[in-house]
Amino acid sequence: MWINQNDATACLGPCESSCLSSEALGRLGVAEAMMRIHDRKIAICAELETIADCLPANVDHMTCLQVAATLLPTLRLAHDYEETVVFPAYEKAVAGSGRALSTDRLRGEHISDACFAADLTGILLDIGHGGMVRQPETVGFMLRGFFDSLRRHVAFEREHVAPLVSYSAFTPPNRSSDARGCPRQCGALARSV
């Protein structure tokens, strides 16, 4: 379903449960915001898995276009929040405990996921616009490689990072000046607080 591009409040209602926005995340506690991010990533993985399962003949073009439109913006917003809020909260929570886990690897995975997602976005746009799926086995392999990796990343953060950020005394930076629109590109702009 396409959302009216002129409806500036569209993303603040029902969409909020499935979309990410910096405003929506800013209203949540760190742990809850992280859960919201993970849920959205897992939902994208499920969408990509459905596409991979339907290649080449039964793939739904509209689904490809919708995922292509949301994949990169969702990852950018998620990575920005995790790297500026979640990881500092985690590092503060474990400081001096001897159980510190470097977030460098997770930050590196964010970079590789974003690069991979950029490649997939182009492929999904081609398919969505009716292009013939050349080498469907290769496309399927790429899709599965991406969502398998993303699911592992989310599982790791859920197991090792999320349980600790709830107890962190970290105060998230004021992100009101960093308001961003809905990654689903429904036209809604996050309101400045």
CB of 1 to Fe ion, least distance (A): 29
Residue 139: which of 44, 53, 40, 43 has the closest Cα? 53
Two structure tokens written together for 72? 């990169």
Two structure tokens written together for 34? 């992280």
Comparison of 82 and 91: residue with beta carbon closer to Fe ion: 82
Q: Which amino acid is at 69?
A: A
CB of 108 to Fe ion, least distance (A): 10
| DSSP per position, 4-62 | PTT-TTGGGTGGGGT---HHHHHTS-HHHHHHHHHHHHHHHHHHHHHHHHHTTTS--HH
Comparison of 84 and 185: residue with beta carbon closer to Fe ion: 84
CB of 188 to Fe ion, least distance (A): 24
Spatial distance between the Cα atoms of 79 and 98, rounded to a whole number of angstroms: 26
Comparison of 47 and 82: residue with beta carbon closer to Fe ion: 82
Nearest residue to Fe ion by CB is 82
Is residue 22 within 8 A of residue 77, CB to CB? The reply is yes
Comparison of 60 and 109: residue with beta carbon closer to Fe ion: 109
Binding site for Fe ion (CB under 5 A): 82
CB of 32 to Fe ion, least distance (A): 16
CB of 38 to Fe ion, least distance (A): 8
Comparison of 47 and 157: residue with beta carbon closer to Fe ion: 157
CB of 81 to Fe ion, least distance (A): 9
Q: How many other β-carbons are positioned within 10 Å of the β-carbon of residue 138?
A: 11
Residue 184: which of 72, 30, 57 has the closest Cα? 72
Is residue 61 within 8 A of residue 106, CB to CB? The reply is no
Comparison of 42 and 55: residue with beta carbon closer to Fe ion: 42
